[in-house]
Structure 1
Amino acid sequence: MGTPVDDLVDLLDLEQIELNIFRGRSPEEALQRTFGGQVAGQALVAAGRTVEGERPVHSLHAYFLRPGVPGVPIVYQVDRIRDGRTFTTRRVLAIQGGRSIFSLTADFHRPEEGSIEHQYPMPSVPAPEDLPSALDEVGSRLGELPPFISRRQPFDIRYVERLRWSKEELVDVEARSGVWLRTNGPLPDDPLIHVCALTYASDMTLLDAVRAPVEPLWGTRHFDMASLDHAMWFHRPFRTDDWLLYQQESPIAHGARGLARGQIFDRNGQLVVSVVQEGLFRPLKG
């Protein structure tokens, strides 16, 4: 039996079935839809497998078109849009059961020296060693873990603020959330694996910032949530098996949609990734 991290690496290891065509596994789950972070991570693997030379991914822009079905394989078709002197562009279409469920455009950039250097400072928050694991905290509170927790098991996630369990605790809560995260074990040294693993993880907590002022993150959920689109910019190299601080905020929620922005810092305070996502929020019926 492999570890959850081994399972994650295996999930991101696509089968090439033809030139520019790959097939990914979709785990059986007792949930309505395939996890969006899985599809995004696999699509980025497919794109990266067609890029030659030292050209790390520097950005991705993606749309979730239809819900994926757990347990059904997903085919990824890669279109080689551009192979320039310094930039490479790939477009990926994810297909399941003959229907497009996800599209992604990724850009890869040959490393070069820059003439402008600045960044936002990393906020001051408790160190991950001083915070409880979210899975341990939720498990001790609920007695059993919700079904979607299987998606989080490859990662150690620790919320920088205490978890709230009732609406009475939501007085003056801002539309923001922060977590430390890393994989629950070492990853291979391939930089693409670290980027794709973080792409997987980036979809797990970002929309928490939208929900934070209106309902407890781990209490009874009153909204059906779905990711609509997802964008990431990779600024510096990083390792996803080292601690990363994921600071998340929501500037607006309106018209059944909520926007969330994230900044990801390494332990040295370097801003390594920026993330933006919009999600759909509809009240649960019944």
Structure 2
Amino acid sequence: MAVEQGENLASELIRSFLTLEKIDVNIFRASPVNLWKPTAGRSVFGGQVVGQALVAASKTVNEDHHAHSLHCYFLRAGNPNRPILYHVDRTRDGRTYSSRNIKATQEGVAIFTMQASYKTDEEDAFQHQFTMPSVPGPEELKDSDDFLRSQLNEDMNDNRRTLILKILEDKIHVEKRPVNPEVYHHKEKGEPKRFVWVRAIGEMGEFDVQVRSIGNDLKLHQCVAGFISDLALLGAAIQPGSNSYTPTYMASLDHSMWFHNPFKANEWMLFEVESPQCGAGKALSLGRLWRQDGTLAVSLAQEGVVRTQQIDSKM
């Protein structure tokens, strides 16, 4: 597939975060040079581990098999200063379905596991899907980074200002345009539901999303979606408490994705997220990624650690 070490790829996201080195049959390594710890995080970004694990698994399946689902558990915090090894177990290869088990380790200790299932394309006479929510398009909205920059002109405490400046320094090569940036960035309270347009920056292979039997280019876009998928899920859970509670620790526990229709991760998709429950130190978030033409591309679910403390109303 198009994510081999050293290839001349236009997408910096792939070069920086999703490139793996093959070191043996079914074993791949991520260099600590390319591991990303978010500004407010304590460990390697969970979406990067999801994306890299899917890269490793996708290198071991036939070209006409594409991921249709994955289910992950985050077992330990990933150390950004140590390489991650991805061990792929070729569990089953069938004519229609193939299964892979992936284990990520650091210094011999498992930090993450994934089960991924792949299938060939098939047609059926019956199909249905939900209707895409009606929200403003990405061209009508402000980029998330631009919104954060605009807040620096306001009267805010030094801790908040420092945090925003550090967030703006992170270059993850993903554009985000939230429909309600005040709620998305926790300046205002809101329902535990959010809409944000997302897309990766850079070229990642050309194909027609209307043609289902695509080859390895679609695998690459699925891996990038794995990275993007962890950017907005848990944040929805704390929106009802914004200005009253601040998270002291947030981390992914488990993560699932179901791939329904082909998509391009470097074209705008609407990320719809809702959190049905938050409490007792954890939260559940559910999500959908929609193509701009209204096609449901991906469904997601994640449970994570969410611990908070009460704060003053002025932040």
Instruction: Calculate the TM-score normalised by the size of structure 1.
Output: 0.90
Structure 1 SS opposite 2:277: strand
* Cα displacement (A) at 1:196: 0.7
Asked whether the equivalents of residues 176 and 208 of structure 1 are also in contact (C-alpha less than 8 Å), the reply is no
Any residues of structure 2 matched to 1:91-110 within 5 Å, and which? 91-110=101-120
Structure 2 SS opposite 1:211: helix
Asked whether the equivalents of residues 246 and 310 of structure 2 are also in contact (C-alpha less than 8 Å), the reply is no
* Cα displacement (A) at 1:115: 3.2
Unmatched runs of 5 consecutive residues or more in structure 2: 1-7, 153-160, 207-216
Corresponding position: 1:18 with 2:24? yes
Any residues of structure 2 matched to 1:153-192 within 5 Å, and which? 153-164=172-183, 169-170=188-189, 173-189=190-206, 190-192=217-219
Partner of 2:224: 197
Q: 1:91 to 1:128 in 2, by over 3 A?
A: same
Partner of 1:73: 83
Tell me the amino acid that sits aligned with residue 188 of structure 1.
G
Q: CA offsets per residue over residues 81-127 of structure 1, 9 Å max, x none?
A: 11012000000000012210000000001101123200000000001
Instruction: Calculate the TM-score normalised by the size of structure 2.
Output: 0.82
Partner of 1:241: 266
Asked whether the equivalents of residues 4 and 154 of structure 1 are also in contact (C-alpha less than 8 Å), the reply is no
RMSD: 2.6
Unmatched runs of 5 consecutive residues or more in structure 1: none
Partner of 1:115: 125
- The number of residues matched between the two structures is 281
* Cα displacement (A) at 1:8: 3.1
Corresponding position: 1:280 with 2:313? no
CA distance in 2: counterparts of 1:269 and 1:252, whole angstroms: 27
State, as a whole percentage, how many aligned pairs show the same letter: 39
CA distance in 1: counterparts of 2:229 and 2:104, whole angstroms: 19
* Cα displacement (A) at 1:187: 2.0
Structure 2 SS opposite 1:120: coil
* Cα displacement (A) at 1:220: 8.4
Q: Which moved more, 1:158-167 or 1:44-53?
A: 158-167
Partner of 2:251: 226
Q: CA offsets per residue over residues 227-252 of structure 1, 9 Å max, x none?
A: 00000000000001110000000111
Structure 2 SS opposite 1:194: helix
* Cα displacement (A) at 1:184: 2.2
Q: CA offsets per residue over residues 111-150 of structure 1, 9 Å max, x none?
A: 0112320000000000100000001111231366454556
Tell me the amino acid that sits aligned with residue 271 of structure 1.
L
